[in-house]
Copies of this chain bind each other. A is one copy, B any other.
Amino acid sequence: MKVAVLGCGSVGSQVVRLLLEQADDLEARTGARVELAGVAVRRIDAPRDVDVPPGLLTTDAAGLVARDDVDLVVEVIGGIEPARALILSALEHGKSVVTANKALLAEDGPTLFEAADKNERDLYYEAAVAGAIPILRPLRESLAGDRVTRVLGIVNGTTNFILDKMDSSGAGFNEALEEAQELGYAEADPTADVEGFDAAAKAAILASLAFHTRVTAADVHREGISEVTAADVASARDMDSVVKLLAIAELRDDAVAVRVHPAMIPRSHPLASVREAYNAVFVESEAAGQLMFYGPGAGGAPTASAVLGDLVTVARNRLAGTRGAGESAYADRRLLPMGETVTRYHVAIDVDDRAGVLAAVATAFADHGVSIQTVRQEGRGADAQLVVVSHAATDAQLSATVAALREMDIVREVTSVMRVEGGEE
C-alpha cells in the first residue's frame, strides 16, 4: 500500500514521521505494508521537522498523484488550489484520498464527493474538524441509527484561548490576542480565527454530516469575537456563565440552522470547562442524549493522528475491495435564514435613572413578541443599567427589539448584545 503525501508542513511532517515510525503497527492494523511513495513539497531544500528518506521529496505534486504505484494520497497542503485540482486528479487516477482541508471541503465539498463517487474511491477527512478529536466518524457511523438534533462546537483553539484568558484574567480582547500571538496560539494576521471564518468552515462540515444535507461555508451566519469586551465577559460571569465562540448546527422544524457567533453558556455546561486552546464538540441526539468529544483541535501531531486513523480505514477498505459510506445528503433539508433562527439574547442597556424605565424597556421587548426571562437593575444615576435576558425568540424579533431600544429616549446606550446558548429555552 503506497502513500503519497502532499505537503510537508507542521501536519505533513508529522504524518511522514508516524508513517515511518509506526510502520509495523500500521501493517498489523491494515493487513498490508504501508509505504511512503513520495512527499510533494514546494522547495526540496526547505528546513523541516522530519527526515524524509532521500529521493522521496518531489516538487511535482501533479506527477506524484498520477503515479501508477501510488494507492493512497494524503493532502495536507490546505487552501483551495492547488489542493482541489490535486485531489480531483488523485481520485480520477483511482487513488483513495485522505485530507485535512476544511476550507476546501466547506467551499466545494460536493465536487470532491461526486468525484469520489464517480471513481468509486474513498475520500476521508476526519482531520478537517477539531484536529485529533474523532467527531466526524462518530457522526457518520456511531450515530447513524439515531437522530441528531443539535451540534454545539468549540472548534477554534485560538479564539477559545483568547476568551478563556479574558475570563480568567479580566483582560480585554486586544490584550488577550497579543498574549495568544506571543504564545503561538494566534497568527500575526488572526483574521481567519478571530472573525470566525475557520469555525464557519467546520460548522458547515459538521452540519452536513449531522443533518445529511449539503451546507457550505457561505450558508453559515458568521460573527467573530473581536467585538467581545471585558464588560461582556464580566457580565457573563455575573450570570455564572462564560463567553465561548460556538459553531452551532441545529434542526428547527426539520430545517437546518447553522451559525458561528460568541455566546454566553452556563458554567455548568460541559463546554464551559473547555479551557485554553482545547476544542470540544457537544452533540444532542434523540436517543443518545448529550455527548461531548474533547481534545486538542489543532497542532501537527494531533492532526496527523486523525489523518493516520483515516489512512488505516481507507487502506483496509482498499484491500477489501470496498469503500466506506460516501457523502450522505439524502435529507436535503431547507437551510434556515438567520432571521428565522431561534435563540436568546442577553442585552445590557445604559438607561436614565427614572421611574418607568423598566416598564418602557419591557414594553419594547413585548412589542416585538419577545418574552423576558430575567431583568436585573444595576447602578444608580449616571451608571444606571438594565441587564435583560430574553426567552427564545427568532433572531429577527430579537434584533428588531435591540434596534427599537436604541431609538428610545430613556436608553443612553445598548452596551452589550450577546446570544445565550446551552440552557433551557
Q: Which residues of A contact B (CB under 8 A)?
A: 14, 18, 22, 25-26, 28-29, 126, 132-134, 137-138, 141-147, 212, 270, 273, 285-296, 299, 301-302, 304-313, 316-317, 320-323, 325, 328, 330-331
Contact = CB atoms under 8 A, between A and B. Distances in A.
A308 B212 contact: no
Contacts of A14: 287
B288 A301 contact: yes
A28 B146 contact: no
Contacts of A147: 22, 25
B291 A270 contact: no
A88 B122 CA distance: 33
Given A320-B322, A325-B316, A295 B290 contact: yes
B146 A212 contact: no
Given A126-B142, A145-B308, A322-B322, A132 B289 contact: yes
A254 to B, nearest CB: 12
Pairs A-B, 10 closest by C-beta atoms:
A145-B308, A134-B142, A132-B288, A287-B305, A288-B305, A144-B312, A291-B295, A134-B138, A292-B294, A28-B330
B288 A22 contact: no
Contacts of A308: 144-146, 287
B141 A137 contact: yes
Given A28-B331, A292-B293, 11 more contacts: A134-B138, A141-B313, A142-B306, A144-B313, A145-B307, A145-B309, A146-B305, A285-B305, A288-B305, A290-B296, A320-B323
A289 B301 contact: yes
Contacts of A311: 145
A295 B287 contact: no
A406 to B, nearest CB: 39
B212 A145 contact: no
A168 to B, nearest CB: 12
A137 B285 CA distance: 18
A18 B145 CA distance: 8
Contacts of A301: 286-289
A7 to B, nearest CB: 17
A317 B321 CA distance: 12
Nearest to A137: B142
Contact of A273 (B273, B293, B307): B273
Contacts of A291: 132-134, 293-296
B322 A287 contact: no
Q: Which of A137, A141, A142, A312 has the most CB of B within 10 A?
A: A142
A126 B302 CA distance: 24
A133 B287 CA distance: 12
Nearest to A145: B308
A132 B287 contact: yes
Contacts of A212: 28-29
A279 to B, nearest CB: 10
A145 B22 contact: yes
A282 B330 CA distance: 34
